[in-house]
């Protein structure tokens, strides 16, 4: 089969499940957890973690087998992200972004030139090359809120010259490819994606990421100053009206819903995993902590058992919701964007509530920087900022509910 034909076929390649045993995933969790506090404290990109992931074939997990990947399902990708996130969630966030980009460019309706799709996917599978989308800007804010990007691609004799400023470029220190959201300088501007190699001349990183959580994600600012790329690297440029029309088109609407569903499940799995790491620490603490006034471990107290039960209930809800969504998506029954938004809202809120409950039970011990619980709390709060955000989710769900209501 030719490369072009290969990339017109959605991910229908058998996953090499044997490569991803529970034993291996547990080992990765433990290995990454051992250095997670160091990465958090220093805000240093976790290069060693990605070298380990590449040795086990986990970076190219979603790339087609013909390109050196595993052609994995969402269920397999979710197992990997959950294991990595329980150990070091910033690593899992960067990996998730590469998975989502690989998913997007492997779709049959993707508009990139076939040889560039193959190059990025093969580079990920064989060389561990990471890729992410750069969309947020100082003036524009989140593109999900609307507006034209300030990043501009200007035509040259043999390509494009890119100028612009991007924020929150997760993983930039370790990326190889940048999918840059921008517009052209044409009389009638087109909007879309410019594919930019990470080390292109004129690209500059401002190390501004000093965040409460996910500190090792290296989500710094990027300046594009006269960055030149070949003409064909303007991989998907359309008039703004065409983007708006595609959102209402059945085929493109299905593509959007698919991408949204994958994003929500993988990010939900990530933050749920942070909450499970917090639960694990809490249970260990409650069994070990035996105040002299009590003469027994805290785990023997009924009120503690009740609150631990509430934590278990929240995590059980997350498990059921994420399992159900994963099964549906892998069976080709993609939920609507509204339903995916509600899943994100619920799972994220439950994960945060779990860690907050653990903090209440552990008191000063949980807030000590000598224990991981305060780090889990800082990390899990980052779940709120990912698109779609709560207000957009609930407004969309409210409109859908009101529109479906019959007054008959």
Q: Residue 8: its pLDDT value, please?
A: 34
Q: Residue 407: its pLDDT value, please?
A: 56
- DSSP one-letter code for 137: B
Q: Residue 210: its pLDDT value, please?
A: 95
If we measure between CA atoms, which residue out of 67, 69, 66 comes closest to residue 20? 69
Residue pair 374/278 in contact (Cβ under 8 Å)? The answer is no
Residue pair 274/268 in contact (Cβ under 8 Å)? The answer is no
Q: Which helix (H) or strand (E) holds 96?
A: helix 89-106
pLDDT tens figures, 207-250: 999 999 999 999 999 999 999 999 999 999 999 888 765 555 55
Give the chain's domains with CATH numbers: 8-128 (1.10.540.10), 143-238 (2.40.110.10), 252-400 (1.20.140.10)
Q: Residue 141: its pLDDT value, please?
A: 54
Q: Residue 256: its pLDDT value, please?
A: 87
Q: Residue 175: its pLDDT value, please?
A: 98
Low-confidence residues of the chain: pLDDT under 50: 1-18
Residues 6+ apart with CB under 8 A from 153: 160, 161, 162, 182, 183, 184, 185, 194, 234, 237
φ, ψ for residue 221, nearest 5 deg:
-90, 155
Question: Cα–Cα distance between 280 and 278 in angstroms, integer?
Answer: 5
Q: pTM of the predicted model, to two decimals?
A: 0.92
């Amino acid at each position: 089969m030719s490369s072009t034909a290969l990339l017109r076929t959605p991910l229908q390649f058998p996953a090499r499940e044997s490569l991803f045993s529970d034993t291996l995933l547990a080992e990765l969790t433990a290995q990454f957890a051992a250095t997670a506090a160091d990465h958090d404290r220093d805000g240093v990109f976790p290069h060693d973690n990605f070298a380990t992931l590449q040795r086990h074939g986990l970076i190219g997990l979603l790339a087609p087998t013909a390109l050196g990947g595993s052609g994995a399902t969402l269920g397999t990708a979710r197992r990997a992200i959950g294991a990595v996130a329980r150990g070091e969630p910033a690593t899992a966030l960067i990996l998730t972004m590469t998975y989502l980009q690989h998913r997007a460019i492997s779709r049959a309706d993707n508009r990139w030139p076939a040889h560039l799709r193959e190059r990025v996917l093969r580079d990920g599978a064989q060389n561990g090359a990471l890729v992410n989308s750069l969309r947020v800007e100082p003036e524009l804010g989140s593109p999900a809120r609307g507006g034209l990007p300030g990043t501009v691609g200007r035509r040259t004799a043999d390509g494009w010259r890119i100028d612009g400023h991007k924020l929150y470029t997760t993983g930039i220190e370790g990326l190889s490819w940048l999918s840059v959201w921008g517009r052209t300088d044409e009389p009638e501007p087109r909007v879309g994606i410019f594919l930019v190699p990470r080390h292109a001349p004129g690209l500059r990183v401002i190390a501004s990421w000093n965040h409460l959580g996910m500190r090792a994600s290296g989500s710094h600012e990027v300046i594009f100053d006269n960055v030149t790329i070949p003409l064909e690297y303007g991989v998907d440029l359309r008039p703004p009206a065409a983007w708006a029309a595609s959102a209402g088109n059945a085929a493109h609407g299905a593509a959007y819903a698919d991408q949204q569903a994958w994003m929500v499940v993988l990010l939900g799995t990530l933050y749920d995993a942070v909450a499970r790491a917090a639960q694990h620490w809490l249970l260990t603490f409650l069994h070990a902590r035996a105040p002299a006034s009590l003469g027994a471990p805290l785990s023997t107290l009924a009120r503690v058992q009740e609150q631990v039960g509430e934590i278990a209930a929240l995590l059980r809800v997350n498990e059921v919701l994420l399992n159900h969504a994963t099964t549906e998506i892998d069976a080709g029954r993609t939920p609507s964007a509204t339903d995916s938004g509600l899943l994100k809202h619920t799972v994220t809120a439950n994960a945060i509530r779990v860690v907050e409950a653990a903090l209440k039970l552990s008191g000063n011990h949980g807030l000590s920087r000598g224990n991981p619980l305060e780090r889990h709390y800082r990390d899990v709060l980052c779940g709120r900022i990912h698109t779609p955000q709560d207000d957009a989710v609930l407004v969309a769900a409210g409109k859908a509910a009101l529109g479906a209501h019959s007054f008959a």
